[in-house]
Structures are given as C-alpha cells and as structure tokens.
Amino acid sequence: MSVADSECPDELDRAAQALTVEFAESTPGSGVGYLLLHRARPAHFALAHVWDGVDLIQAYWTSPLDLPAELRPHRAGAVGCVWELEVLAFESAQCAASFEAADRRERYLSTHL
C-alpha cells in the first residue's frame, strides 16, 4: 500500500522481510500471518502479523522516507493507521471465516484482498 503514484521501495521490502522472519520465528503461534508494507506521507511502515489461534500478534516498524531499510520499532501501543486497519479487518474476517474448517490454514492462505 502506498501514497498515490508511488511504490514501496525494494529496500523496505527486503528489510521488512528479514525482520518478519525473526519476529515469526520468535513468536508462538501457527506461523501463519502476513506482512503489510505502507509508504505513507510521513514515513514508511511495516506491520508483521502472526496468528496464534484467533489471537493476532503484531510487530510494527517505521523508517524515514529517505532511508527505507532503516526500520525501527514504531511507538508502543500503536495498532495502525486508518488505511492499515482496513487490511487488518480483512485478515481478521478471513481468519474468523476459516477458523472452524478442517483445512483452515489452506483456506485462510487462499484468500486475498
């Protein structure tokens, strides 16, 4: 997700992927989740999420627009901006819809926003 007429830089993607792997490996849960990259007007944001049953565990990082790979933890307690929350709502609905299914992992992973 990004500001109109812009894209998330590759450096942001690579840095966020590396942090997400560390986060997912150190977080209890299913190992199923998602990474949201957001190039916003004030900064870059990366939000990693891992499902632990029906609980969603989050890591949230930010970096300056001119240094996209310099991700640092975002302020404690932050959940996401209004645009990021739209993605969280979609993912939450997909998790809830697939939770009772025998093939819930595959069902959840087959849905896309």
Considering the entire predicted model, what is its pTM? 0.88
Residue 2 banded pLDDT, cuts 50, 70, 90? low
At residue 15, does pLDDT exceed 70?
Answer: yes
CB contact set of 9 (below 8 Å; sequence gap of 6+): 39, 44, 68
Cα torsion angle, 34, 12, 75, 3, sign: negative
Q: What is the pLDDT of residues 18-57, one digit of tens each?
A: 999 999 999 888 778 899 999 998 999 999 999 988 899 9
At 74-105, the pLDDT tens digits run 999 999 999 999 999 999 998 888 877 788 88
pLDDT at 88: 93
